[in-house]
Amino acid sequence: MHCPTDRITATYSLLPDHNCGCAKLPASWLQVRLRGLAGDLRKTDHSKLQEKDILVLLLDLNVSSSHKSATKSVIQYFGKIDILINNAGRSQRSLFLDTNLDVYEAIMHLNFLGTISLTQCVLPYMIKQEKGQIVTVSSLAGLVGAPVSTGYASSKHALQGFFNSLRPELANYPEIIISTVCPGLVHSNIVKNAFTEEINKTVSENSAQTYKMSTTRCVQLMLVGMANELKEMWISGQPLLLYVYLWQYAPTLAWLIANKMSVKRVKNLKSGLDADVSYFGDVKNKAA
């Protein structure tokens, strides 16, 4: 596989990002923050980007009209969209029986329908160009069961099903690449900003980060996969990666393991600990 840097930075990309929980923040703050990130991007090593090469726009993934206007603004500014990166979603930490139905509705609207809406706005331009790449950040939770994250896992399974079905619909456009990225545990604020059993209730557990993959490493692997036009990427360390393989090739064994790990995840959740450390044995004691 070849180095992706030159190819990726030479394209015009649209990157919605909702993992930070930014829907809760003032638009003015977000605008300043995004422009700061754009400046940081230009200063990175080997970057050939100029100020004119970066366009920062605000959109609300829950409001489809903002997707249309943002897409039109990008087309008017750059003339095309080479890559759409759907990096959108909020996680969940709550038990099914304790969770209000409106939480599930909000998860599906944001994680699934918002992504589909934006894709529907961008895809016609790629078809007109007969070229492009749509990259959707799903999750390993879209491939396996994820106790105490039933709504989140459902939304990611929905994304997997949608894009795996969309790909063959575009068989007449071989240069339009549909890629899904399935990260495991990555250093981020996604747990801190996760949905709970009530819409406006925040997560009370302590989110441990030491055992998670660094964001930089995850992005590097993602870029390599994008540059090589991989259809699906599993990005994770062990033992989670082995766990996913078991779900694919030895599901009966995976179900047994899932039951045992679920007991630990539920116990950690109720104790105010990070549910994810249940995958790492004794690490949960350090995380606490």
Token readout for 47 is 């970057």
Note if 249 is an active site residue.
no
List 12, 77, 104, 152, catalytic entry: 152
253, β-bridge pairs: none
For 122, phi and psi rounded to 5 degrees?
A: -85, -35
Between CA 157 and CA 141 the distance in angstroms is: 7
* CA 241 vs CA 9, 221, 280, 288: distances in Å: 29, 15, 12, 24
Torsion sign over Cα 31, 41, 119, 152 = negative
Estimate to the nearest angstrom the gap between the alpha carbon of 251 and the chain centroid: 25
Task: Kindly compute the dihedral angle of the four CA atoms of residues 149, 182, 16, 83, in this order, to the nearest 10 degrees.
Answer: -160
Quote the Cα angle for 88-94-97, to 5°: 125
Burial classification of residue 282, based on how many CB atoms lie within 10 Å of its CB (0-12 exposed, 13-18 middle, 19 or more buried): exposed
Structure tokens at 244: 């996913």
245 Cβ partners below 8 Å, 6+ apart?
none
What is the residue-wise DSSP string for 40-100? HHHHSTT----GGG-------TT-HHHHHHHHHHHHHHHS--SEEEEB----B-S-GGGS-
Active centre residues (catalytic): 152
